[in-house]
Amino acid sequence: MTTPARLADIAAQAGVSEATVSRVLNGKPGVAATTRQSVLAALDVLGYERPVRLRQRSEGLVGLITPELENPIFPALAQVIGQALTRQGYTPILATQTPGGSTEDELTEMLVDRGVAGIIFVSGLHADTTADTQRYERLRGQGVPFVLVDGYSPKVAAPFISPDDRAAMELAVTHLVALGHTRIGLALGPRRFVPVLRKIEGFVRIVGQRLGLDPVTVERELIQHSLYTLEGGQAAASALLDRGCTAVVCASDMMALGAIRAARGRGLEVPRDISVVGFDDSPLIAFTDPPLTTVRKPVPAMGQAAVRTLLEEIQGNATPTGSSTPAPTYGEFVFMPELVVRGSTASGPGAGGRS
């Protein structure tokens, strides 16, 4: 087989340069959608077999990549997305990262090689402000539609689906202030993640408004970073208790359960001595002891929106128009959470509780 001649034939048929043909065949970015379609059409007309990653994605498979499944919010979101895809005639493929196992990039490559029609990323590297976003540009260059859930980067031209993390903090803190708490801590994950930064922003603002504390004091004394695990919540809450907090807002329900464990380890009772608020409203969290007050992430609405948006992307790719610049229409769809008050919060010292 003489590759140069093949490139020349394809280029002549498509009316583009051989360099452009090479970029399309190798899945490189920087080629307009209409040009890419012309090259693929030329391959078909000349009888050349498309490379696996460029074959028509009509199998009806959609990839869903999650960071892990130990946190119950991820299986819950996966279930919503899977059901919505199935109703639309697609088959979901759940790909989960595990410690020491496959990375997001490896899972993405596996899904692309299987010819998925599109991919939904949940809490992926797009949420990490230190990660290289070029991986998503490369994926777009391969002609694979995708949607990103829980995390936002202005560097990535794609649809984003997120909860309003700032509003979540306002709901939680307003509730605790109304109960008389004046020393409220925030336990959350590593600072490099977008949802963490947004929660901090919302927390600092609302604590400043409601309690008159300056941002420097709030960040130094009332915010503790840890891991999104039960053990992480326990460690963060322990540090906040040492600083005199009578209430702790946690960035996940798992962390909140860890905070309750930290309190009990000190002989404190929840909510008599310390109030705890979670985040997510994970399945079964209403049946903990005590039932957990939490900020409910709008999982059904977010999951359905992710599927609906991805299918619009898939259909847009399947029927290209004269316009090859959809990027300006991309943005972030933000969903409002709600506070669910249960048994883990009660009156603080400002309302006659312990001093």
Name residue 21's amino acid.
V
Residue 55 has pLDDT above 60, yes or no: no
pLDDT for 27 equals 77
Per-residue model confidence as pLDDT tens digits over 215-255:
999 999 999 999 999 999 999 999 999 999 999 999 999 99
Instruction: Specify the range with the lowest mean pLDDT, choosing from 150-164, 168-182, 303-317, 323-337.
Output: 323-337
**Nearest C-alpha neighbor of 277 from the set 346, 226, 231:** 346
Binning pLDDT at 50, 70 and 90, where does residue 65 land?
Answer: very high
Domains with residue ranges and CATH for the chain: 3-54 (1.10.260.40), 61-163+299-335 (3.40.50.2300), 165-297+339-351 (3.40.50.2300)
Per-residue model confidence as pLDDT tens digits over 34-54:
787 788 778 877 877 777 666
pLDDT for 238 equals 98
Backbone angles phi, psi at 235, to 5 degrees: -65, -45
